[in-house]
Amino acid sequence: MMEDSAYIIDTLFTLFAMTLIIFMVPGFAMLEAGLVRTKNVTTVLTVNVMIYAVASMAFLLFGYSIAFGGFGSESMSKWAAFLFQMAFVGKVINIMSGGVSERVRLTPLAIFTVIMGGLIYPLIVNVSWGSDFLKDTFLDLSMYDLAGSTVIHSTGGWALLAAILIIGPRYKRYVNGKIRVIPASNIPLVVLGALLLWIGWFGFNGGSVGSISSKENADAVALTIMNTNTAGLAGAIITSILIWVKYKKQDITMILNGGLGGLVAITAGPDLYDIYTPILIGAIGGILVVFAVPFFDKLRLDDPVGALSVHLVNGIWGTLAVGIFASDGKDITLFGQIKGILVIGVFAFVVSYSVIYLINKFLPFRADDDDQLQGLDYEECGVESYPEFVRN
């Protein structure tokens, strides 16, 4: 293609991909609003809108420059390149905030959002996809992670683990050694949210190819979206089968989490596989979700939306999968993938833990037991989610 045409088409393509990712904002919001109890729905929705606003603004004001060394792109409009990266940043914090739903307070979370979106995440992007200011020193990450199994999903998952350790489980979630099941309050919203995330993933992974303006790139983008979808399908199907074999019933929230697990798992290398390998990668992703959800509950790590299982576990699995199925022995090696997982994992967990710990000293993240009992919507928001419906 002629140079100008490539610039124009890649700008259009990136704006299209960015828009799909923005559909993940209502996606996460609806998914989480459906999964929590009605007394916490307004708070969870406020958190989601706050994250989009605050993280994006922090990324505009300083995060993007930290990650990429300033605004600029030769191959497409630099504003489209910014928008695409900006669409990512909130997701990391969505993953973290979702898992501490029903007991996390808004103000400390907003402060953490500024630091994560403006500093921690940009530093991780810098060494993974960005200008990598540490490249000439000791840290040259050779990990392959196209759209962020590690950079986005594990990072969010590690921050969530740190947050759960500090904030603790929901009030009376674990009583007398037993796990109390807390049902989702609105299943249609769960399904709507998960499907919007699914569609957003096409933009997330497809757009991460970075260009569609050559035949090879057009094929890479289409293959990436196809493989992304296939892994999600496989994750949902295998989860459905496992659940049915065990309970003779279907559990739609688990099926959707299995599908999302498959999507996370494929995210590191959707452009690298043939069209059948994603079935295996996604299916393993679904299986991991099915076993990880009760496992984290056994560890008393209370995660109302299954984010540790979907994002942390499958973020790691997806990054490893690249080393297993797409290792070419040179640039991509299993060792390089493991190194990336460890370096970013340790950094994300230690820094997130420290920041949350510090903020927590001054502004406690955890709502006290009375507020949790009454529902966070009362104290944090003063706005009921469904004021006219009589509740059990």
Residue 159, classified by CB atoms within 10 Å of its CB into exposed (0-12), middle (13-18) or buried (19+), is buried
By CB under 8 A, what part of segment 236-255 binds a copy of itself?
236-237, 240, 244, 247, 249-253, 255
Q: Is residue 312 within 8 Å of residue 153, measured between CB atoms?
A: yes
Residues 273-302 that bind a copy of itself (CB under 8 A): 275, 279
Chain residues 316-375 in contact with a copy of itself, contact rule CB under 8 A: none
The single residue among 51, 67, 76, 322 that binds a copy of itself, judged by CB under 8 A, is 76
For a copy of itself, the closer CB: 6 or 338: 6
The answer to whether residue 13 forms part of the interface with a copy of itself (CB under 8 A) is: yes
Residue 68: CA count within 13 A, CB half-sphere: 15
Does 314 help bind a copy of itself (rule: CB under 8 A)? no
360 neighbors 307 (Cβ within 8 angstroms): no
Residues 6+ apart with CB under 8 A from 159: 92, 93, 95, 96, 116, 120, 348, 349, 352, 356
User: x/- contact string, 220-239, with a copy of itself (CB under 8 A)?
Assistant: -xxx-xx--xx--xx-xx--
CB 97 → a copy of itself: shortest distance, Å?
14
The C-alpha atoms of residue 256 and residue 251 are separated, in whole angstroms, by 9
CB half-sphere exposure, 265, CA atoms < 13 A: 36
Which of 65, 77, 327, 333: binder of a copy of itself (CB under 8 A)?
77
* 35, 40, 46, 170: residue in contact with a copy of itself (rule CB under 8 A): 46
Note whether 218 binds a copy of itself by CB under 8 A: yes
Q: With respect to a copy of itself, which residue has the nearer C-beta, 193 or 345?
A: 193
Interface positions, 171-200, toward a copy of itself (CB under 8 A): 183-189, 191-192, 195-196, 198-199
Task: List all residues 6 or more positions away from 322 whose beta carbon is below 8 Å from its beta carbon.
Answer: 144, 145, 149, 268, 269, 272, 332, 337
